[in-house]
Amino acid sequence: MNIHEYQAKAVLKTFGVPVPHGVLANDVDAAVAACGELGGAVWVVKAQIHAGGRGKAGGVRICHSEAEVGEAARALLGHKLVTKQTGGGGKLVHKVYIEEGLNIAREFYLSLLVDRENECISFVVSPAGGMDIEGVAAETPEKIMTLAEQPTADVCRKMALFLGLEGAQVTDFTRLIESLHTAFQSKDASMIELNPLVLTAEEQLIALDAKFIVDDNALYRQAALLDLRDFSEEEPRETEAAEFGLNYIALDGNIGCMVNGAGLAMATMDMIQIKGAQAANFLDVGGGVTVDAVCEAFKLLFSDAHVKAVLVNIFGGIVRCDIIANGLLEAIKTHPMRVPVVMRLVGTNEKEGRKIVKDAGLDVRWADDLDQAASMAAQAAC
């Protein structure tokens, strides 16, 4: 689960991570009022969306008067911001965060992430901060250092020197790493990224930007973080699917897929691609699926305007084919089959499943195997 920058900074602050003073604003008046609250003469208005790349897209605006802050807030609030990370549709800005402007001397990149290969929390640092780190990795990989080590004083010093820090800055950096490491562990983060971490003209190390991702599997014991969840930032279909225990991820193609098992779902997507088409989603209905959940899954597919054909690929084991068939019958009561449905239904209760669909007189196109099913779906969708 992702949280907003302002929330990430509030969480990190409680662990002693230095962050700029800031005020959240839901409307223009509140944004202007924030200037007085913060004091100073320079403010930064930052669009709060679950995506980076805001700076280059006009989502981070440096202002030198209250009037400018008002204008910036007006330009952002209620408008969609399209960044490199939002996709073409962009994201609607509901809130802006107003921060005191800082005198930035240098910008660094710093992140902590779960490193499965090395079974530890790894640190990634770069003196080329504030930019898109993938670009730095591609063009100047020597500017990135990754350390799969415990953050001992020596390790912190190594990172600090790589960043070109010196003297008291090294001590500050070590303290910062300790705070971040503690926050990472106690909040069950899977990633914390400060891009940039800045050194100000006054030689303060400050987290100017913060991204914080919490491990979904730990949310049950992170109630305070769960409260920070912003459903308006999430794909509504994914949220809906999750409520029914379905593993659903929206994609860009036009063939809606319903499959049991993550491996089979991926094989199905590959096969669709081989046939020259694209899946509209990944959907694993899982093992102990009920008629209600299958019904919900079909509704998700039928109500998706991008979907031009549906491919059902069920290899019945624990999932029974009659459950899938009954789920379909339930769904079409409210969501008519407005696109061709190709079914490959084999395994447990295969005969019963087919009979249920046929007896209902549904115009379903039957396939004997996945290869044929993918071809039929690709043809139907084009």
Closest CA to 353 of 323, 313, 317, 329: 323
- The reply to whether 209 sits near ligand GDP by the rule CB under 6 A is yes
Task: Given the residues 107, 109, 248, 296, select the one marked as catalytic.
Answer: 109
Cβ-based nearer residue to ligand GDP, 11 or 294: 11
Cβ-based nearer residue to ligand GDP, 8 or 165: 8
- The reply to whether 254 sits near Mn ion by the rule CB under 5 A is no
Which CA distances in Å does 352 have to 102, 329, 362? 68, 14, 15
Task: Count the site residues for ligand GDP by CB under 6 A.
Answer: 17
3-class secondary structure, 365? strand
Chosen residue from 31, 60, 76, 176 binding ligand GDP by CB under 6 A: 60
- The reply to whether 353 sits near ligand GDP by the rule CB under 6 A is no
- 104 C-beta neighbours (distance < 10 Å), count: 15
| Catalytic residue status for 330 | no
Closest CA to 132 of 56, 44, 49: 56
Task: Count the site residues for Mn ion by CB under 5 A.
Answer: 2
- The reply to whether 130 sits near ligand GDP by the rule CB under 6 A is yes
Cβ-based nearer residue to ligand GDP, 70 or 353: 70
Give the residues across from 104 on adjacent strands.
200
Q: Which burial class, exposed, middle or buried, applies to 157 when counting CB atoms under 10 A from its CB (0-12, 13-18, 19+)? A: middle
**Total residues belonging to the chain:** 382
Round to whole Å and give the CA distance between 172 and 312. 57
Chosen residue from 107, 209, 284, 322 binding Mn ion by CB under 5 A: 209
| Catalytic residue status for 238 | no
Cβ-based nearer residue to ligand GDP, 19 or 328: 19
Round to whole Å and give the CA distance between 145 and 196. 15
Partner whose binding site includes residue 91, from ligand GDP, Mn ion, none (CB under 5 to 8 Å by kind): none
Which 29-48 residues touch ligand GDP, going by CB under 6 A?
A: 44
Closest separation between CB of residue 33 and ligand GDP, Å?
Answer: 19
Residues 316 and 264 sit within 8 Å (Cβ to Cβ): no
Contact segment (CB under 6 A) with ligand GDP among 51-59, 168-176, 329-337, 341-349 equals 51-59
Round to whole Å and give the CA distance between 145 and 293. 46
Round to whole Å and give the CA distance between 28 and 151. 43
- The reply to whether 55 sits near ligand GDP by the rule CB under 6 A is yes
For strands 80-81 and 364-366, give the pairing.
unpaired
- Residues in contact with Mn ion by the rule CB under 5 A: 195, 209
List active site positions: 109, 193
- Residues in contact with ligand GDP by the rule CB under 6 A: 44, 52-55, 60, 62, 99, 101-102, 104, 107, 130, 195-196, 208-209
